[in-house]
Structure formats: structure tokens, C-alpha cells
Structure 1
Amino acid sequence: MTHSLPPLYLSHGSPMIAIERSPASDFLDRLGPVIDRTFGRPRAVLVVSPHSATRTPMVMAGARHEAIHDFGGFPDALYQQRYSTAGAPLLAADVAQRLVKVGLNAQAVDASGLDHGIWTVLKRAWPDASIPVVPLTLVPNWTPAQQWAVGAALADLADDGVLIIGSGSLTHNLRRFFGERPSADAPVSPDVAAFQDWIRQRGAACDWPALFDYRRQAPHAAQQHPTDEHWLPYYIAAGAGGETQPAVRIHASVDAGILAMDGYAFGPQAARLAEALG
């Protein structure tokens, strides 16, 4: 067993992923046990989600975290879901110090709570809620290169048993989704497939300059991400993996033909995780 863990970018999509079956939820159900068997259970999980956004990075140092139901209009069964887990105040302080050392105006705050971009993913992967969690807020107006710098500052944590997760969605055009109202089994839209494939190819080639410039270079980028907060956590996970390590796609699926739910692993252990997942 090794405690060097591959940083991850995971698509969470709709909060209904917590209670509905889909290829993406089935993948998350497998992911936690595979990580435990392959690397050993993480000593903590550090998660960045677009649903906790601040002007500067804030690390939530609460001793205990509960699921926040930060959404509306869903079935009652979703609001009955709970996820209660320990925090890691000392790790949170360490994370903030690491960011400050590289010139980022970060701070650890005595705050608690897991937004749905965090708890829905963790509830599928580790339903027993036995791993301490440290939420790190996203600064949504920072560039991909700035997000990368956040991840790079935290890279050493992956060698100390901390699983770094950027939670988002590979594509996230909700106006289109609610406007078109596609069926659950709708065929994948060609523009979505083109975007998925471009991301996979550029990541496999370690073409980080192109990925930093994705809004100009990726096909149909603006259509996939009218605003890019659900995509930016990718760069934090990738930065933690290092510039010489390719991005390895560990899951690919599309909900309703529009919402791509791909997952990626980064760093020296990424290929090992992909192999373990089969």
C-alpha cells in the first residue's frame, strides 16, 4: 500500500447523483473501494467545489461538517440525505499556510459545511463518512493558470495520504439542458463529444498551455461552459499532479446527451488508479 494518492477531477452534475443510478454514480460507487484497496484509505480529503466560492481562497477548518442542501426544486428524498463527517482543523491550517507561502492570500476559517458538489460525490464513494474532509473554496474569477498554482502549492499533500479532489462538471450548460429538456437516454450531442475528446487529447499530451487557453482553443467551449466555475477545479487537481504527468481519464459518460460527467486522475499514480478501475 502507498499513501501517495492521485489528485482527481470528478464531475458531480445534478445533486440527484446522490440518490439516482447512472453510469457516473456507478463509477463513484466503485471509486472509493478501489482507492482503498489500491492505495489505502486516504487520511483526509481536500475538496474544491464551485458551489463554495469566495474572493480569496478560504480553507474551512471546522471540526465537524454536515451536508448542506444548497438547491431547490428537487424531490423530498434528496433533502432527507445526510452526510456528517469529521473535519481536519490542523490540516486546514497547513493548507492555508502552503497557499500563503506561494503568495496567495488564503486563510483558514472556523467554518463548517459541505455543499452538494462535495457531499454528493463523497456519499457515493465513501458512504460511511469515515474520512475527515477539508473544503477549500474556489475563486471563480481566477484564470486556469491561477487555479493551477493553487494545486501546485498543495501537491506534496498527495504524498502524505491526502486525496485532493476538484469537483465540477466536464460540461455545464444548464440553460441549454432546461431549454431542450432532452431525454435521459438522448444521444450524445456532437459538440459535447468534440469537447470531451479535445480535453482528453490535450490532457494526455500534457498540453497545459492549450488547456489554460481552453475558451479560445477547445471546440464549442463557450457552449459547454457559459461560465466556467464548474470547469476550473480541473486545473487545481491537475496542478497538484504536476506538469510532467499526463491527465488520465478514468470515467466518461454523458447525461441526457448534454452533461458530460467525465473524471480524471493526475500525477504519478494516475495510471495505476486507471488500471485498478479497469
Structure 2
Amino acid sequence: MKLPAFFIAHGSPLLALEDNEYTRFLERLGSDLGKPRGIVVFSAHWDSPQQLITVDAQHETQHDFYGFPEEMYKLTYPAPGDPALSSRISALFKDSNLCHQPIIGRGLDHGVWVILKKMFPQADIPVVALSVDSMRSPAEQYNIGRMLAPLRDEGILLIGSGGLVHNLRLLKQDDQPEPWALDFDAWIAGRLEAWDLDSLFAFEKQAPHVREAVPAYGREHFVPLFYVMGAADEGKRAQLMIQAYQYGTLSLNCWMVD
């Protein structure tokens, strides 16, 4: 069965400890999906000008954040890797002449393991992490995702982990979303549901409040959307599964594309 692909906001690392509407949604989503043969995640927290691929047989857990409760640094997600799946991805990239590089020993960053810990808490599904390049054009990012579309027919779950509204410098004490965040997410939603690539690829010029929603220092959190959209280019369907907010300027949304 062909699996859908997902853009999933990973929000604050504290999601790993929290029990709220969004974390319960992630738990249900993982249960509904069953057990895919493997999981491939484009992570906002791995930004590189070259396409990178983890090839480890076993992953360590990165605690790539600071200033959090001590309990956060004790959490682990000891998921296995899948060198054969990494090789399959490499072959697909090679077929499309995409320069790429295998990486050993990086571990899983929190953009990967925080959401997977909620979705698949047993950590028994092989995971391959992929970098994103926030400086590529949206069309290039989309095309990289399209290279991996065959994996969806092979029991592989494709995820883009990031955040459509992700402004750490404007965080609030409460979760009430800022009006500009609502406007930006609504604009993206309308274009996604219409699969309006022309508008989405020009989001930095057309979307309202784009400088607040996608600040220059945080562009890498938005671009995983384009990678997973590319993997769904054949069907061109997008469905919003949940919309929530943290601290007013972090949107917690999940988009299913197929």
C-alpha cells in the first residue's frame, strides 16, 4: 500500500515530555499508520548545502538544545538505522544526478526523534535522516522530494519535520497565536489545498507576514514542506490534520500529502 507523506511541526523539544492536544494527535497518527517498513525524515535541524544521508545501523540520540529541564537530556530514542534503505535512497539520488554524501555517527537530532518518540515510542522502526538545504530554491527542494516518491510504494514513511511559523525571537508566555501567525498559516493552507506551486514557490514575496513567520534565521524550518510535497507530486493532494500553536509564534500543524 502506498503510504502518504507528512509535514509535521516539531515545535519545542519539550513536546517529548508534554501531554496535550498535539502530542495526543501524534500518538494517534502513529497508531493509525501501523508499522511502516522504515521512516525517512527531512529534518530542519540538519541544514547543509550538500544532500546528506545517515547510513548508521544504530542511531545515538542528539540532545541538540540547551537550557531545558534535566529530564530532557535523559530522554533517548534508540532507533535502528537501515543501511540498505540508505543505499536505496542514494541510488534514487544518483539516478537523478543529485550530489549527495553518506554520513556516519551523526545520530538523530531533536527534529527527528521528538516527533517519532510520540508517534512510534517503541523506537523499533528503522530511521534514515536526511538533510535539507534552506538556500536551495523551493523548486529544487520539491524536486529532491520527488526523487524519493518511489519509496512510498515500498512501505516507507516520508516525513518533513520543521515548522511553518517558527519565530523564536517573538515567543510569548502563552499559547494564544499572534494574528499574523494565523494569517500566514491560513495563506499557506489555501495554496496547499489548491496545490498552487507557483504561489507557494513565491511565498517569500507573496505570503502575508512572511518575515515574522519565516525569519531569515529560521528558513530551514519551513522548507521541509517542499521536500515532502515533491514526494506527493503524482497525487497533488494536501489535507490539514491538526492546527495548534505554542508560545504564540510556533505553529504546530501536520499536513498529509498524497
Q: Determine which of 64, 68, 87 is the counterpart of 2:81.
A: 87
TM-score by length of 1: 0.89
| Residue range with higher mean Cα deviation, 256-265 or 73-82 | 256-265
Secondary structure of the 1:63 match is coil
1:54 to 2:45 alignment: no
Q: CA deviation at 1:243?
A: 5.6
Q: Determine which of 164, 174, 181 is the counterpart of 1:184.
A: 174
Q: What is residue 141 of structure 1 aligned with on the other side? A: 135
| Residue range with higher mean Cα deviation, 95-104 or 67-76 | 95-104
- Give yes or no for contact 1:12–1:169 (8 Å, CA) kept in 2: yes
Superposition pairs of residues 84-163 of structure 1, within 5 angstroms? 84-163=78-157
Matched residues in 1 for 2:20 and 2:173: separation?
14
Matched residues in 1 for 2:22 and 2:231: separation?
23
Q: CA deviation at 1:17?
A: 0.6
CA deviation digits over 1:225-259, x for unaligned, max 9? 11310000000010001165122111111112221
Q: CA deviation at 1:62?
A: 0.4
- Give yes or no for contact 1:165–1:237 (8 Å, CA) kept in 2: yes
- Give yes or no for contact 1:206–1:244 (8 Å, CA) kept in 2: no
Matched residues in 1 for 2:49 and 2:29: separation?
32
- Identify unmatched segments of 5+ residues in structure 1: 268-278
Matched residues in 1 for 2:78 and 2:53: separation?
18
Matched residues in 2 for 1:231 and 1:125: separation?
21
Structure 1 runs (4+) greater than 4 angstroms displaced: none
AA paired with 2:146?
A
- Give yes or no for contact 2:168–2:249 (8 Å, CA) kept in 1: no
Matched residues in 1 for 2:28 and 2:18: separation?
15
Superposition pairs of residues 1-278 of structure 1, within 5 angstroms? 2=1, 4-36=2-34, 41-177=35-171, 182-186=172-176, 188-227=177-216, 228-242=219-233, 244-267=235-258
Matched residues in 1 for 2:16 and 2:107: separation?
17
Q: CA deviation at 1:260?
A: 0.8
Matched residues in 2 for 1:144 and 1:259: separation?
21
Pair 86,192 (structure 1): closer, same or farther in 2 beyond 3 Å: same
Percent identity between the two aligned chains: 36
TM-score by length of 2: 0.96
- Identify unmatched segments of 5+ residues in structure 2: none
